[in-house]
Structure 1
């Protein structure tokens, strides 16, 4: 009897779980964005910006959205760490690609990395959000310039859902809109990429 009740409890209390990969070059601000996401959706203050360290490996944050658990996986963006990204492709439901709009000299490198990502077979059909981060700073590439760069990659996108937005990991501008968009796209794409089951 206990087993039956326990099984029923687990069934009715489980949540759909979606995995979002946070990718981009080192220094783009992925970790700061993750801290801001956790703060926005949990109310718990994130780690102060001056205490953040570059991600070596993976940094995970979980938030509950509506009837789902969304797990954000911030992967190290240093060149010698990008080889581990592929290990997470098959279990992801969306990609949040972060661009550093303050350092125009690295945008070409980021563009090449993004092309490799969207060509990966295991990421076929996965929604993609490109965030032009650090828009709160002076002398950054404008969102219009970033959108123009991404538009040049249209032939690589293969009809996937793509959106480009501006953001700031420092003040949170654009973060909720970006995450809400990703959540809705993941739910709409659940036939192609079914969510996992997570117990509360």
Structure 2
């Protein structure tokens, strides 16, 4: 009887855990986004933007949405660090690709990097959320303009869930919408990428 009750208790109290990787070029605002996600969902203020240094390696953060834990891995965006991204593909349940919508000079590099990510066989079927960041800055590319630029390679996303959303990681605009979108897609994609269960 004790074993049955223990098993039931464990089942009711276990959390589904998902892993989301945050990718993009350096200075796209990935770490600022992660800090804003943490503060939005935990109520605890993260690092102030002026104290955020370029990521060398990995930053982590976790938030709970309903009975689900979402673990975010923010990976360094410098070109020489792109080779380590692949090490995280097999464990991820979703990809957030952050685009600096003010950096028009590097948009072709962004496009090429994004294409390399989504055509990797290890992430086939994984939901992809592209965030057009820095929408609070005058002259930033709009979501419509970003979609126009990335449309030629969007066909390679296939039938997987994907979208482009506007955000300002600095101000927090659109951050909750982005996490809500991810939550729904993670739930919907559980058959292909089951969650990890932890007590």
Which moves more between the two structures, 28-37 or 147-156?
147-156
Residues 12-46 of structure 1, C-alpha deviation per residue, up to 9 Å, x if partnerless? Answer: 32100001110000000000000000011101111
Instruction: Report the equivalent of 2:36.
Output: 36
* Match status 1:109 vs 2:109: yes
* Match status 1:170 vs 2:170: yes
Instruction: Report the equivalent of 2:190.
Output: 190
The alpha carbon displacement at 1:150 in A equals: 2.2
* Number of matched pairs: 199
* Match status 1:26 vs 2:36: no
Instruction: Map 1:3-82 to 2 at 5 A.
Output: 9-82=9-82
The alpha carbon displacement at 1:151 in A equals: 1.8
Gaps of 5+ in 1: none
Partners of 1:198 and 1:121 in 2: CA distance = 27
- TM-score, structure 2 as length reference: 0.95
Question: In structure 1, the residue corresponding to 2:111 is in which secondary structure?
Answer: helix
Partners of 1:143 and 1:158 in 2: CA distance = 20
- RMSD value over aligned CA atoms? 1.6
Instruction: Report the equivalent of 2:138.
Output: 138
Question: In structure 1, the residue corresponding to 2:136 is in which secondary structure?
Answer: coil
Partners of 2:6 and 2:107 in 1: CA distance = 52
Partners of 1:101 and 1:181 in 2: CA distance = 20
- TM-score, structure 1 as length reference: 0.94
The alpha carbon displacement at 1:147 in A equals: 1.4
The alpha carbon displacement at 1:5 in A equals: 6.8
Gaps of 5+ in 2: none
* Match status 1:86 vs 2:83: no
